[in-house]
Structures are given as C-alpha cells and as structure tokens.
C-alpha cells in the first residue's frame, strides 16, 4: 500500500505543470509524456511538432528533424502536411542543408502566414546550391508586376561564372608544367612549378650529358616525376579554389537582390 501511494504521488508530481522547470530536457520530457498518453494521431502529431520546435529553438536542428520524421507517421491532411514540411524546411535551412531545403515545395496559398519566410529560404537555398536559373525565375515571380526596373535588373543577373575545369587544368599542366596553374588564375604558382620542373629536368639532362647516369635518374628524373605529378594535382586544386571564389561573388550578388525583394 505504501508503494502504491508513493507511485500515485510520483505520477501526480510528474503530471503537475507547476513542478516542471524551464530547462529544455524537462519540456521535452513533458511533451513526450503527452505523446505517450495520447489517444489520437492528431495529438501525437502536434506533440511531436512542438518537440521539434523546442529543439529548433535550442539550436538542435538534427534532433528537430528526427522528431519531424517521427511525426510523419501521424500526419493526416494537407494542413498538417504543410505545417510539418514548413518546419522541416526551416530546420534544414538553419542546419545549412540547402539541397534538402530547396527540394521542399509548398503551395503559396497553404503557407500564406509564412510566405515571406518560405520565399526567403527557397530563394536563398537555390542560390547556395547554384541553381541560378530557377532562382532567377522565382525572383521575377516574387517581384511586383509594376516594378519593371527591378525585373529587368533581375533578368540581367548572370546565371554562370567564369568556370575553370579542373580536369582541363590538370591536362594543361601535364603537357607544360605551370600552364594549368596560370590558366586557373595563379601565374606566380605556375611560374614556380615551371622553374622547379624545368630545373630538375635540366639537372637530369646535364647529368646524363656528363655521364652521371645514376645521379641523373635519382636526383633529376625522380624529383621531376614527383613535381610533375604535384603540379597536376595543384592545378586542379587551384581551379577548384578559383571556382569557389567566383561562385562566391555571384552568390553575393544574388543575395543582395533577394534581400531587396523580401520585405
């Protein structure tokens, strides 16, 4: 009997809201208890959605996304589906998962309360994953029809940048050491590569000419082979770096336009 009474008191204490403190884990526990005791799928769904929001507010985006995946089982109807998808999109966006964020498409009518947020996330994500054609068309749709200046400004935005193919750079460096690096936009590194490779090749040739064959191979050809391969690898890396810088510049332009469209 004493054991029964203590259990009853414990349950009363657990269920009493006045005993719940403000810390996150206690709030999550409270929500989980409601979920556990819920009789309907709708209650379970909204409890898990609240848990996801609590996690999101605490910056635990992965946990929030896990809760939303749990909530998917109990999702019924378009309203609940829209709420869940919007919350997923927000968490993906805050966790920098722009590909997953851009894949979520919602009906503008259904998302009327959060349309600005939805549009910002969608445009920003498409910009981050370099889908500039789609981003541009959505930006034009989002503009006021009467604002022809803005629309023409958006239409004039480029959809690509000065891309340097890393494979092409690698092949150029294979033919002439230093050419690939120069093509990628780093002439000084190209010059260094040319001097190093040329120097070792010259040294090898000089040694062969003076009949020092072993020295020619070991101190001339082998280092030349290493630096030649290194030059190819470096030109590909430099091409990627160049592409990152150029893409960053274009993304910045798009970000400025996006922030001017969204109020």
* Interface positions with other proteins (CB under 8 A): 1, 4, 6-15, 19, 23-26, 28-29, 32-33, 36-37, 70, 90, 93-94, 96, 116-117, 120-121, 124, 189, 192-193, 196, 211-215, 218-219, 226-234, 245, 248, 251, 255, 259
Please identify, using beta-carbon distances, which residue of 29 and 151 lies nearer to other proteins.
Answer: 29
| Least distance CB 229 / other proteins (angstroms) | 4
Q: Which two tokens stand for residue 73?
A: 């089982």
Please check whether residue 75 is in contact with residue 40, taking contact to mean a CB–CB distance below 8 angstroms. no
Q: How far is the CB of 3 from other proteins (least distance, A)?
A: 10
**First-last CA distance in the chain:** 65
User: Looking at beta carbons only, is 156 or 209 nearer to other proteins?
Assistant: 209
Q: Which is nearer to other proteins, 76 or 245 (CB)?
A: 245
Q: Which is nearer to other proteins, 152 or 195 (CB)?
A: 195
Placement of tokens 């062969």 in the chain:
208
Q: Least distance from C-beta 202 to other proteins, angstroms?
A: 16
Please name which of 83, 152, 53 lies closest in space to residue 139, comparing C-alpha atoms.
152
32 vs 151 by CB, closer to other proteins: 32
State the nearest-atom distance from the C-beta of 193 to other proteins, in Å. 6
Task: Please enumerate in sequence order all residues whose Cβ is within 8 A of that of 218, keeping only pairs 6 or more positions apart, or say none.
Answer: none
Structure tokens at 254: 């798009």
Q: What is the biggest distance separating any 2 CA atoms in the chain, rounded to whole angstroms?
A: 105
Sign of CA dihedral 207, 209, 212, 217: positive
User: In sequence order, which ranges of 104-185 are alpha helices (DSSP H)?
Assistant: 115-128, 132-142, 148-155, 166-175, 179-183
Shortest reach from residue 148's CB to other proteins, in Å: 27
């Amino acid at each position: 009997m004493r054991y029964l009474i203590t259990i009853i008191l414990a349950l009363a204490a657990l269920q009493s809201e006045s005993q719940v403190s403000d810390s996150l884990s206690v709030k999550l526990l409270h929500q989980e208890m409601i979920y556990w005791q819920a009789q309907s799928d709708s209650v379970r769904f909204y409890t898990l959605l609240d848990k996801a929001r609590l996690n999101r507010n605490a910056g635990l985006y992965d946990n929030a996304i896990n809760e939303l995946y749990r909530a998917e089982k109990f999702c019924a109807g378009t309203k609940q589906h829209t709420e869940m998808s919007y919350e997923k999109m927000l968490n993906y966006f805050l966790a920098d998962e722009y590909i997953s964020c851009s894949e979520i498409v919602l009906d503008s009518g259904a998302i009327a309360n959060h349309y600005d947020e939805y549009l910002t996330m969608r445009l920003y994500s498409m910009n981050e994953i370099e889908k500039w054609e789609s981003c541009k068309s959505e930006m034009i749709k989002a503009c006021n029809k009467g604002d022809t200046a803005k629309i023409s400004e958006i239409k004039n935005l480029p959809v690509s940048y000065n891309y340097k193919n890393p494979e092409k750079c690698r092949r150029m460096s294979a033919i002439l050491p230093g050419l690939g690096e120069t093509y990628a936009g780093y002439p000084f590194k190209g010059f260094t590569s040319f001097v190093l490779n040329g120097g070792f090749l010259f040294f090898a040739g000089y040694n062969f000419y003076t009949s020092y064959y072993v020295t020619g191979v070991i101190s001339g050809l082998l280092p030349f082979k290493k630096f030649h391969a290194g030059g190819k690898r470096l030109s590909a890396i430099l091409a990627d770096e160049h592409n990152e810088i150029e893409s960053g510049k274009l993304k910045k332009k798009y970000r400025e336009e996006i922030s001017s469209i969204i109020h």
